[in-house]
Amino acid sequence: MEPQRSPLLEVKGNLELKRPLVKAPSRLPLPGSRFKRGLDQMEDVLEPEKKRTRGLGTATKFTSSHPRAPAITTVPQAQGQTTAPKVPKKTGPRCSTAVVTVLKNQKPGPAVPAQKPGTAAAPPKLGGKKPSKRPAWDLKGQLCDLNAELKCCRERTQTLDQENQQLRVQLREAQQQATALGAERRTLEGELTRVRAQAEQGQQELGNLSARVLELEERLGTQEGLVQELQKEQLELQEERRELATRLEEQERRLQASEAALSGSQAEVASLRQEAAAQAALLAERGERLHGLEMERRRLHNQLQELKGNIRVFCRVRPVLPGEPTPPPGFLLFPSGPGGPSDPPTHLSLFRSDERRGTLSGVPAPPTRHDFSFDRVFPPGSGQDEVFEEIAMLVQSALDGYPVCIFAYGQTGSGKTFTMEGGPGGDPQVEGLIPRALRHLFSVAQELSGQGWTYSFVASYVEIYNETVRDLLAPGTRKGQGGECEIRRAGPGSEELTVTNARYIPVSCEKEVEALLHLARQNRAVARTAQNERSSRSHSVFQLQISGEHAGRGLQCGAPLNLVDLAGSERLDPGLALGPGERERLRETQAINSSLSTLGLVIMALSNKESHVPYRNSKLTYLLQNSLGGSAKMLMFVNISPLEENVSESLNSLRFASKVNQCVIGTAQANRK
């Protein structure tokens, strides 16, 4: 809004705009052209008029009837009329010219049109009549006219003087007013400058403020965004806080419950501790008793084994295999024991028909009956588990520290390998004594670990062929052609024997034992030739060195378990022609027979408590010397073929086994330290 200006500012503004001061009423008869030069010049403008007016006083011709100038205050300013028409010097009376000159600076009223040159106003007629021209001769009349005219002029002069006086007064007032206005103008200009400076400063400040406002608005926008984010976050946090509070409450509830339970549990723990202490004492006492009982068990177990005999013989007859001729009925009989059919059989009767023995009447002699009695007889239908059940207790003796030796004796094809290692195909039902014995030992050792016993087992597997020892566990390139091994004492003065070049492998589970048996089978297969089924012609000795320790009581025990698959016991047919192959076979057979009879002799010597036991007569007895006699327990399986064609060999085997069975080896002593 435009502020209301003071009148002074209005004037000033008009001046600045160079507009004539026509709107403001003025008492000055100022023509527009003159006013353009400014108020300060007014006096200069008026001065010549004054002079001229004064000069009129000397004029001789003056029309007294000239109308008076209109009052200054009432003269309206004619716009654009800045120049009055010039009065020609030569026309009209002088008075008229003077009047016209004076009036030139006045604004003529609208009703007073400017007179045309040449038609200048005639001298005013005195008395309302136009004076007629006096004749030249009427000097008096002329004088009279002149006097009248003079008088008129004088009056006019007086009037003009008065006007002049008034104008001067007005001029002075105007000058004073102009001076005041000038001063006011300067003041106002100063003020204007100051105001302008202020305005500029204001503008600048306004610009700054606008920029600041923009910046602040921008910041405000950012802050508002931030505030919104924070509000959102705050809401989320509040939600989270609520959740946490709920969870906290829940946790606190649980904690209280737990604390309650804990205090209950602590009381329970205290009572349990007391109970545990009592139990520990009881346990220690029971452990003591258990140990005593274990020792007692071992003693009784040993007594039982001794009662059964430190050397026992079991007879096992294998079944007739598919494709084999069925033996005549009654060829082999398994009579019941004194306890009837429920008793396990211990007797075997073999009927041999001898064609050479004829009767006088020519009727064939009836078959000869051969009765044998053993610790146990297993008829053809007996399973591997049934057989093992009988020897499990004996095997366990090895854990108690008694050396154990189990032999399989019999002709080739009688089932020795089947008994010791098992049948073909890896069927668990036909697993042999070696894997079953080891599984049993691992299991019992595990049970005894609860009583503080720790056991370790080391296995070796060698074969003795033609009085040479070979490692059946030779790995890789040595397979089937392992270097010759020697049986040596483990150290000077040591009773323990070891086989050089043979591997002694620690075992702790069935899988490891399976792997060893598999390796041994591979080694045998490599050594086999078409002409020579070597495995039948060699003794296979599986040895397991058992070491037990009871750290708590400082007890140690250890003994070897030997599982021996002996070479075929058959004799060489003396009727056979001796070709190069047969000669070799004869040598093998002699070696086998020698070692088997040495085994029998050793057992006899031990039984008869002879001073010399011929262990050194064969590699087999030499290797097994620590497991034969003395504290050792021995079991011999005599494997029998069910076929009639093998009757001679079966009888030989049964006779050998019977001799062994009659042996009683002295009371066994456990190898305890």
**Shortest Å, Cβ 370 to Mg ion:** 25
Residue 646 touching ligand ADP (CB under 6 A): no
Residue 318 touching ligand ADP (CB under 6 A): yes
**Shortest Å, Cβ 641 to ligand ADP:** 9
Q: How many residues bind ligand ADP (CB under 6 A)?
A: 14
Of 345, 401, 415, 558, the one binding ligand ADP by CB under 6 A? 415
Give which of Mg ion, ligand ADP, none residue 576 binds (C-beta under 5 to 8 Å, depending on kind).
Answer: none
CA distance readout (Å), 657 to 415, 461, 569: 16, 25, 12
**Shortest Å, Cβ 332 to ligand ADP:** 14
Give which of Mg ion, ligand ADP, none residue 639 binds (C-beta under 5 to 8 Å, depending on kind).
Answer: ligand ADP
Of 397, 417, 589, 625, the one binding Mg ion by CB under 5 A? 417
Characterize the bridge pairing of strands 404-410 and 633-640: parallel
- What is the SS3 assignment for 190? helix
The kind and range of the H/E element at 231 are helix 139-308
287 assigned to a ligand binding site: no
**Shortest Å, Cβ 465 to ligand ADP:** 15
Of 372, 388, 418, 455, the one binding ligand ADP by CB under 6 A? 418
Residue 432 touching ligand ADP (CB under 6 A): no
Residue 416 touching ligand ADP (CB under 6 A): yes
Interface region with ligand ADP, contact rule CB under 6 A, candidates 25-33, 121-129, 318-326, 543-551: 318-326
Rama region for 324: left / alpha / beta (φ>0; ψ in -120 to 50; rest): beta
Task: Tell me 537's DSSP state.
Answer: G
Residue 423 touching ligand ADP (CB under 6 A): yes
Nearest one of 384, 409, 386 to 312, comparing CA atoms:
409
CA distance readout (Å), 114 to 75, 118, 657: 15, 12, 188
Of 29, 124, 410, 548, the one binding ligand ADP by CB under 6 A? 410
Burial 569-580 (b: 16+ CB within 10 A, else e): bbebeeeeeeee
Q: Which amino acid is at 43?
A: E
**Shortest Å, Cβ 429 to ligand ADP:** 10
Residue 358 touching ligand ADP (CB under 6 A): no
Residue 414 touching ligand ADP (CB under 6 A): yes
Question: Who's near 29: CB < 8 A, 6+ residues apart?
Answer: 69, 72, 75, 105, 106, 107
Structure-token pair, residue 219: 């910041």
**Shortest Å, Cβ 535 to ligand ADP:** 8
125 assigned to a ligand binding site: no
Measured from the CB atom, the residue of 400 and 570 that comes closer to ligand ADP is 570
Residue 639 touching ligand ADP (CB under 6 A): yes
Measured from the CB atom, the residue of 178 and 596 that comes closer to ligand ADP is 596
**Shortest Å, Cβ 557 to ligand ADP:** 33
CA distance readout (Å), 20 to 31, 158, 167, 375: 10, 33, 21, 164
648 assigned to a ligand binding site: no
Task: Label each residue of 386-447 as H, E or C.
Answer: HHHHHHHHHHHHHHCCCCEEEEEEECCCCCHHHHHCECHHHCHHHECHHHHHHHHHHHHHHH
- Distance in angstroms (rounded) separating the CA atoms of residues 46 and 55: 14
- What is the SS3 assignment for 138? coil
User: For 279, phi and psi rounded to 5 degrees?
Assistant: -65, -40
Give which of ligand ADP, Mg ion, none residue 269 binds (C-beta under 5 to 8 Å, depending on kind).
Answer: none
Give which of ligand ADP, Mg ion, none residue 414 binds (C-beta under 5 to 8 Å, depending on kind).
Answer: ligand ADP
Of 417, 543, 569, 626, the one binding ligand ADP by CB under 6 A? 417
Tokens 């050594």 — which residue? 527
414 assigned to a ligand binding site: yes
- Distance in angstroms (rounded) separating the CA atoms of residues 146 and 144: 5
529 assigned to a ligand binding site: no
Measured from the CB atom, the residue of 613 and 647 that comes closer to ligand ADP is 647
* Residues comprising the chain, all counted: 673
435 contacts 514 by C-beta, under 8 angstroms: yes
Interface region with ligand ADP, contact rule CB under 6 A, candidates 187-195, 204-212, 317-325, 599-607: 317-325
- Distance in angstroms (rounded) separating the CA atoms of residues 123 and 97: 11
Give which of Mg ion, ligand ADP, none residue 418 binds (C-beta under 5 to 8 Å, depending on kind).
Answer: ligand ADP
Interface region with ligand ADP, contact rule CB under 6 A, candidates 158-166, 295-303, 417-425, 498-506: 417-425
Tokens 């006007």 — which residue? 163
**Shortest Å, Cβ 352 to Mg ion:** 25
Binding-site positions for ATP: 410-417
**Rule CB under 6 A: which residues touch ligand ADP?**
318-319, 321, 410, 412-418, 423, 536, 639
**Rule CB under 5 A: which residues touch Mg ion?**
416-417
